[in-house]
Amino acid sequence: MVKQSPLHTVHKELGATFTEFAGFEMPLQFSSIKEEHLAVRTSVGLFDVSHMSNVWITGPDAEKLLTVTTLEDAHRIGDNKSQYTAILREDGTIIDDTIFMHLGEKYMIIPNAGMDEIVTDWLNKQAKQHALNASAHNVSDEYVILAVQGPRSQDTLQKLTDIDLKTVGFFGCTDITVADAACIISHTGYTGELGFELQIPLNENVEHVFRKILEAGKEFSIIPIGLGARDTLRLEKCFLLAGNEFEGGRTPLEALLSWAINWDHDFIGKDALLEQKQTGIYRRLTCLECIGKGIPRHGCEVRKDDSKVGVVSSGSLSPCLNKGIALAYVDKEYREVDTILDISIRGKTVQAKVIKPPFVKKDWAKHR
Amino acid sequence: MSNEVREDLKYTDTHEWVKIKDDTAIIGITDHAQSELTDIVFAELPEVGKKVVKGDELCVVESVKSVSEIYTPLTGVVKKVNTALEDAPETINQSPYDKGWLVEIKLENIDETNSLHDAESYRKLL
């Protein structure tokens, strides 16, 4: 059965068109993807991302469980800090990527849409196998997740809380009251802009919070944002989308996540990564910016001199650059910046150039 | 939602419009179609001289997130394409019935036009 957000009727009222994504019917767009995209880059937008999951990790060994199952040494991540990481299989491929939030004695992780049970089961299985006194509890159905993203996100949310948001800090997290609702705030996002994510328990007045944020952001022309713009915003910043970039089993080395690997601790999949690192021969995610006209899409072939050298995992028009952009898994020999490759789109060839990530640089809005 | 329907045009079930003049037809997508697609960002047009049979793919229009094939409702030879769309595909959104036309075809079988909807019957589909 397809799930809907608790805010579904509010979205309908706001004119959303919907799409099905990982078992959820969520807003695709409210006004237009371009307009929503640019609102987030230049001012502020409000997202309902309740399709994402919520899992609590509790018990005296919670930290150890995260350390053994993720790329990060959780001991390093202090209280009230969030961390981006990934959970691997023994063979080094990614099960899921997630943020974990260190909240006192426990941790909350945010697996991707539809990954809640898989991740919860995996963590509980590993706790047992490693004789750790820790457990994972899937509470995805008990939370709404809202994201407020864009240069004016802090100005918007600050009106609704007594806590000085500056004290939360980038990748900070804390219990907070926003618009009379007790929730968890994390200074994180999926847009590459200043932003915050709120985990709001369903026993709070979620609709009230949603409407209050729209009201508080009115002076900055805040608009609600659908999954369409969420995807283009993350792609411009080269953030990964699980269903696309991890499809078929990819390791963090392949998926441009080497920066997230903390090699100073033992974790599931580490041996496989060390081996892959040593051989060094693998396709790796590469940023391609189209020179010619055309929009690459998921599954398009990447070619060089008539041989296949890669495949597009995510592609779109970049609303900021007004060019086709793509993340593609490309053979080792063709990944150097400025290499010209061909992307095959419906049988036609469009030239593209390898660029250094991200597609849209920091402070794009200031320099346009 | 924008739903303008013009009296002087013929229409298809799949929301293309056709303007017939002697043995040629100009083809575009309706106001309803452009409004459903939103933000058209790319139009791939056929080569002039290409022969197309009713039901063939004629062109492709893309929005940020979607790819939509446009099928020709009539058989003929592509006589002209709206090259202005290559640099300004958003014209299809702004002016679906005028500046945003897609292709002009020299018709091979004028009788095919009989199966198209008139404005009144197209309006009922919306």
A18-34 pLDDT, tens digit per residue, is 999 999 999 999 999 99
pLDDT of residue A306: 86
Same domain, A160 and A131: no
CB within 8 Å of B95: residues ≥ 6 apart: none
Element at A365 (helix H, strand E): helix A364-367
pLDDT of residue A166: 96
pLDDT band at B1; cut points 50, 70, 90: low
Averaged over B68-90, what is the pLDDT? 96
Q: Could you tell me the end-to-end alpha-carbon distance of chain A, in angstroms, rounded to an integer?
A: 45
Same domain, A199 and A65: no
In the three-class reduction of DSSP (H, G, I as helix; E, B as strand; rest coil), residue A367 is classed as helix
Exposure string for B66-105, b = 16+ CB within 10 A, e = fewer: bebebebbbbbebbebbeebeeebbbbbeebbeebbbbbb
| Contact assessment for residue A284 and residue A290, using Cβ atoms and an 8 Å cutoff | no
Place of tokens 């049970």: A117
Interchain proximity A33–B65, CB inside 8 Å: yes
The two tokens of residue A70 are 């993720």
Same domain, A67 and A112: yes
Same domain, A41 and A70: no
**In B, which residues are within 8 Å of A228 by CB distance?**
64-65
Does residue A109 form part of some domain? Answer: yes
Give the full edge-to-edge strand order of the sheet including A195-201: A173-178, A181-186, A195-201, A143-149, A45-48, A223-225
**Percentage of the residues of chain A whose pLDDT score is greater than 90:** 96
Minimal CA separation from A17 to chain B, in Å: 10
pLDDT of residue A368: 77
Interchain proximity A228–B67, CB inside 8 Å: no
Does residue A99 form part of some domain? Answer: yes
Task: Return the CATH number at A90.
Answer: 3.30.70.1400
**Among A94, A121, A138, residue at a domain's last position:** A138
Nearest to A34 among B44, B62, B64 (CB): B64
| Contact assessment for residue A270 and residue A336, using Cβ atoms and an 8 Å cutoff | no
Same domain, A121 and A189: no
**In A, which residues are within 8 Å of B86 by CB distance?**
293
Minimal CA separation from A293 to chain B, in Å: 8
Give the DSSP letter string of A130-183. TT-S-EEEE-GGGEEEEEEESTTHHHHHHTT-SS-GGGT-TTBEEEEEETTEEE
Nearest to B64 among A316, A346, A348 (CB): A316
The two tokens of residue B50 are 């290409």
Place of tokens 């650059």: A321
- Our count of domains for chain A comes to 3
Complex ipTM, two decimals? 0.85
Nearest to B39 among A34, A294, A348 (CB): A34
Tell me the one-letter amino acid at A342: D
Same domain, A243 and A345: yes
Positions in chain A short of pLDDT 70: none
**Among A235, A251, A277, residue at a domain's last position:** A235
Does residue A363 form part of some domain? Answer: no
Is pLDDT of B10 > 90?
Answer: yes
Same domain, A249 and A329: yes
Averaged over B14-39, what is the pLDDT? 94
Same domain, A37 and A185: yes
Averaged over B34-45, what is the pLDDT? 93
**Among A208, A235, A262, residue at a domain's last position:** A235
Does residue A185 form part of some domain? Answer: yes
Same domain, A63 and A155: no
Averaged over B35-63, what is the pLDDT? 94
Minimal CA separation from B1 to chain A, in Å: 10
**In B, which residues are within 8 Å of A28 by CB distance?**
65
Q: Quick count: other Cβ atoms within 10 Å of Cβ A366?
A: 8
Report chain A's mean pLDDT, rounded to a whole number. 97
CATH of B10-106, one of 1.20.120.1810, 3.40.50.970, 3.30.565.10, 2.40.50.100: 2.40.50.100
pLDDT of residue A271: 98
Nearest to A346 among B39, B60, B86 (CB): B60
Task: Return the CATH number at A298.
Answer: 2.40.30.110
pLDDT of residue B38: 87
| Strands, E assignment, B37-107 | 40-44, 51-52, 57-63, 67-71, 76-81, 103-107
Of A345, A230, A320, A337, the residue nearest A286 (C-alpha):
A337
Q: At what angle do helices A62-69 and A116-129 cross, to 10 degrees?
A: 110
Does residue A159 form part of some domain? Answer: yes
Same domain, A8 and A119: no
In the three-class reduction of DSSP (H, G, I as helix; E, B as strand; rest coil), residue A281 is classed as coil
**Long-range contacts of residues A16-21, Cβ cutoff 8 Å, at least 24 apart:** A16/A224, A16/A226, A17/A226, A19/A226, A19/A227, A19/A228, A21/A51, A21/A113, A21/A227
Does residue A366 form part of some domain? Answer: no
Does residue A180 form part of some domain? Answer: yes
Does residue A184 form part of some domain? Answer: yes
- Residue A267 belongs to what domain range? 239-357
Same domain, A62 and A48: no
Same domain, A12 and A160: yes
**In A, which residues are within 8 Å of B44 by CB distance?**
294, 346, 348
